[in-house]
A and B are shown apart, each in its own frame.
Chain A
Amino acid sequence: MAGIIGAFVSLIGALFFLLAAIGLLRMPDALNRMQAGTKATTLGSILFLFGIGIMQPDYLGRVFILVVFIVLTNPVSSNALARAAHANRKRIGAVLSPDALADDEARIAAGDRGTAGTKEATHGA
Chain B
Amino acid sequence: MADTVFFVAVGIAVLALLLSGIRFALGPWAVDRTVALDAMTILATSLIVAFALLSGRRIYIDVAMVYGLVGFAGVVAVARYLEGGL
Contacts and interface: CB of A to CB of B under 8 A. Distances in A.
Contacts of B64: 66
Interface stretch (A10-18, A95-103, A104-112): A10-18
B2 A55 contact: yes
A15 B82 CA distance: 31
B33 to A, nearest CB: 9
A88 B31 CA distance: 8
**Closest 9 interchain pairs by CB?**
A21-B19, A3-B2, A80-B79, A7-B5, A84-B82, A17-B16, A14-B12, A21-B16, A14-B9
Nearest to A11: B9
Interface of A: 3-4, 6-8, 10-11, 13-15, 17-18, 20-22, 24-25, 29-30, 33-34, 37-38, 41-42, 44-45, 48-49, 51-52, 55-56, 58-59, 62-63, 65-66, 69-70, 73-74, 76-78, 80-81, 83-85, 87-88, 91-92
A69 B72 CA distance: 10
A85 B35 CA distance: 10
Interface string B15-59: 111111011000001011011101100110110011011000010
Interface residues of B, number: 51
A77 B16 contact: no
Nearest to A34: B35
B9 A81 contact: no
A12 to B, nearest CB: 8
Which one of A11, A48, A55 has the greatest number of beta carbons of chain B within 10 Å? A48
Nearest to A91: B29
Contact of B34 (A11, A15, A51, A84): A84
